[in-house]
Amino acid sequence: MPARLKFYVDVERCIACYGCQVACSSAHEVPVQINRRKVITLNEGIEGQEVSSSIACQHCTDAPCAQVCPVQCFYIRTDGVVLHDKDKCIGCGYCLYACPFGAPQFPRDGAFGIKGAMDKCTMCAGGPEPTFSHEELHKYGQNRIAEGKVPMCAAICCTNALIVGDASRVSEVYRKRVLTRGVSL
């Protein structure tokens, strides 16, 4: 069985530089109103209580978006990456309401609730078209996973707050960071 890929955001290291958000949007040439990855700050302006995090699709094991989609446009790859087929998407918005992370994004609010084909974080794994095709690049962005690279957001993170990889490796990095927090080396 292939490794299960996961994201981890270390809020102790995130400095809200927005590098991950900008790199993602630029690498995938998404429309201005679409943010596959967003940086949020809680308790902004309250000294000592500000916490920033980068948030995107969490590629859930039991993906609620896939469970509610009436046209089954979502699919979960064997490596755990949750992707969708834009040609099947009808823009109903059910996935947006089901996702606790607000990952699905829609390009417009049209007449009768038609929102256009949904867009979301692909973990830089492309889409259902043949890998590296022009159609895949145009619809879904870069396929860095197929190239053996980490997603653009993690590659650009200057503080290594955002890491991605095999779930067991990500878990080990998390354990090490928690154990060494506050300990000067």
CA–CA distance, 22 with 84 (Å, rounded to integer): 22
User: Which CATH number do you get for residue 27?
Assistant: 3.30.70.20
CA–CA distance, 152 with 58 (Å, rounded to integer): 15
Q: Residue 152 sits in which domain range?
A: 4-178
- Averaging pLDDT over each range in 44-53, 100-109, 142-151, 152-161, which range is the top one? 152-161
pLDDT in tens, 122-165: 999 998 887 778 888 888 988 999 899 999 999 999 999 999 99
Q: Could you tell me if residue 185 is inside a domain? A: no
User: Of residues 84 and 129, which shows the higher confidence score?
Assistant: 84
Residue 20: how many other CB atoms lie within 10 Å: 27
Strand stretches in the chain, DSSP E:
5-9, 38-42, 51-55, 74-76, 82-84, 162-166
Half-sphere exposure of 147 (CA within 13 A, CB side): 11
Overall average pLDDT of the 108-130 stretch: 80
Q: Identify the pLDDT of residue 114.
A: 63
Q: State how many domains the chain has.
A: 1
Q: Could you tell me if residue 184 is inside a domain? A: no
Q: Identify the pLDDT of residue 181.
A: 82
Q: Could you tell me if residue 154 is inside a domain? A: yes
Residue 113 has pLDDT above 60, yes or no: no
